[in-house]
């Protein structure tokens, strides 16, 4: 008598899984991630009150500032109003380390007190060259922030 291959006792393939603990764990993880996502990317929050303060009464002239790196030790500052250049300042230093101090001094003494009046910089843009290191760019951003210039952009100088 020959045995038939593969015709043994059949096992049922449908097994019941209890999904309730899995759904509980998943909903707990989702709640945890939603709650903790608030603290991941908090930096600074700039708040300006537009009405009801004395600051709104003192209107300052607003200008735009372009900072263009010629090389790591030479910067050109262009003060613009309504898209037109009003004044240009040349900032030079012997080393990249001392350039930030000279830049800070120039912004405080010449740019922010342009025409012997206190002015406000609405936006500032930085255009670095490929020879300018990332650390120097970040120091320039810090210099602008320390002078209360908060609307800052970085432009790429492609091919320079």
Question: Which residue in 131, 129, 137 sits closest to 99, CA to CA?
Answer: 137
HEC secondary structure over 87-125: EEEEEECCCHHHHHHHHHHHHHHHHCCHHHCCEEEEEEE
Q: Establish if 2 belongs to a structural domain.
A: no
What was the pLDDT predicted at 14? 76
Q: Establish if 38 belongs to a structural domain.
A: no
Q: What is the pTM of this model?
A: 0.59
How distant is the alpha carbon of residue 11 from its chain centre?
Answer: 62
Mean pLDDT confidence for 95-120: 84
Q: Establish if 44 belongs to a structural domain.
A: no
Q: Domain holding 88: CATH number?
A: 3.30.420.10
Q: Establish if 149 belongs to a structural domain.
A: yes
Number of domains in the chain: 1
- Other Cβ atoms within 10 Å of 73 Cβ, number: 19
What was the pLDDT predicted at 74? 92
Q: Establish if 103 belongs to a structural domain.
A: yes
Residues 109-137: pLDDT tens digits? 888 887 778 788 888 888 888 888 888 88
Mean pLDDT confidence for 92-105: 87
- The CA R_g of the chain, rounded to the nearest whole Å, is 31
**Residue range of the domain that includes 75:** 61-154
What was the pLDDT predicted at 122? 85
What was the pLDDT predicted at 130? 84
Residues 16-75: pLDDT tens digits? 888 899 999 999 999 998 888 776 665 555 655 555 555 544 566 788 889 999 888 899
What was the pLDDT predicted at 159? 46
Q: Establish if 51 belongs to a structural domain.
A: no
Q: Where are the beta strands (DSSP E) in 4-118?
A: 61-71, 74-81, 84-92
Mean pLDDT confidence for 95-106: 87
What was the pLDDT predicted at 160? 47
Q: How confident is the model at residue 8 (pLDDT cuts 50, 70, 90)?
A: low
Q: Establish if 4 belongs to a structural domain.
A: no
């Amino acid at each position: 008598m020959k045995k038939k291959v593969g015709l043994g006792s059949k096992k049922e393939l449908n097994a019941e899984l209890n999904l309730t603990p899995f759904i509980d764990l998943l909903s707990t993880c989702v709640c945890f991630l939603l709650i903790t996502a608030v603290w991941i990317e908090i930096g600074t929050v700039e708040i300006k009150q537009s009405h009801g303060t004395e600051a709104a009464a003192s209107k300052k002239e607003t200008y735009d500032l372009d900072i263009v790196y010629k090389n790591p030790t030479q910067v050109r500052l262009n003060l613009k109003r309504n898209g037109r250049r009003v004044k240009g300042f040349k900032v030079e230093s012997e080393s990249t380390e001392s350039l930030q101090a000279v830049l800070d001094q120039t912004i405080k003494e010449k740019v922010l007190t342009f025409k012997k009046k206190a002015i406000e910089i609405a936006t500032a843009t930085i255009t670095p060259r490929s020879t300018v290191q990332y650390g120097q760019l970040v120091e320039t951003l810090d210099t602008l922030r320390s002078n209360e210039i908060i609307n800052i952009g970085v432009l790429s100088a492609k091919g320079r």
